[in-house]
């Protein structure tokens, strides 16, 4: 057996070896949009506070996004890898519940 066959096993014991094939096109980790949904009860100031606290927005940006959600029903808080997006959704939902607001936040693949 020549050197080229070193990782191909033997006729009695084939397919032994280490898979070394790499993807031609490595995939980037998927990104997810965190979406904020409108409701009739959550105070505007609370939504602005959430956007500042969990999405690191300044007052201007947070106010714009809050108004977009208020007027259009939905708005994008940010785009993150799945686990970060999921954590942000949970943080927002927990914080809203603690404050007895019905604010809803969700994620979708970007």
Shortest approach of ligand TYC to residue 53 CB, angstroms?
14
CA 86 and chain centroid, separation:
6
Q: Which is nearer to ligand TYC, 31 or 101 (CB)?
A: 101
Q: Which is nearer to ligand TYC, 36 or 89 (CB)?
A: 36
What distance in Å separates the CA atoms of residue 93 and residue 110, rounded to the nearest whole number? 21
Shortest approach of ligand TYC to residue 100 CB, angstroms?
14
Binding residues for ligand TYC, per CB under 6 A? 36-40, 42-44, 47, 66, 69-70, 103
105 within 8 A of 93, measured Cβ to Cβ? yes
What distance in Å separates the CA atoms of residue 64 and residue 47, rounded to the nearest whole number? 11
Burial class (CB in 10 A: 0-12, 13-18, 19+), 50: buried
Q: Which is nearer to ligand TYC, 72 or 109 (CB)?
A: 72
Shortest approach of ligand TYC to residue 49 CB, angstroms?
12
């Amino acid at each position: 057996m020549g050197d080229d066959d070193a990782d191909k096993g033997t006729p009695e014991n084939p397919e032994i070896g280490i898979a070394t094939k790499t993807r031609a096109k490595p995939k980037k980790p998927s990104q997810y949009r965190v979406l904020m949904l409108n409701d009739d009860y959550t105070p505007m100031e609370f939504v602005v506070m959430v956007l500042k606290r969990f999405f690191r927005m300044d007052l201007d940006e947070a106010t714009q996004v809050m108004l977009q959600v208020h007027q259009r029903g939905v708005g994008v808080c940010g785009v993150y890898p799945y686990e970060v997006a999921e954590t942000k959704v949970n943080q927002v939902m927990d914080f809203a519940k603690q404050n007895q607001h019905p604010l809803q936040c969700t994620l979708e693949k970007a």
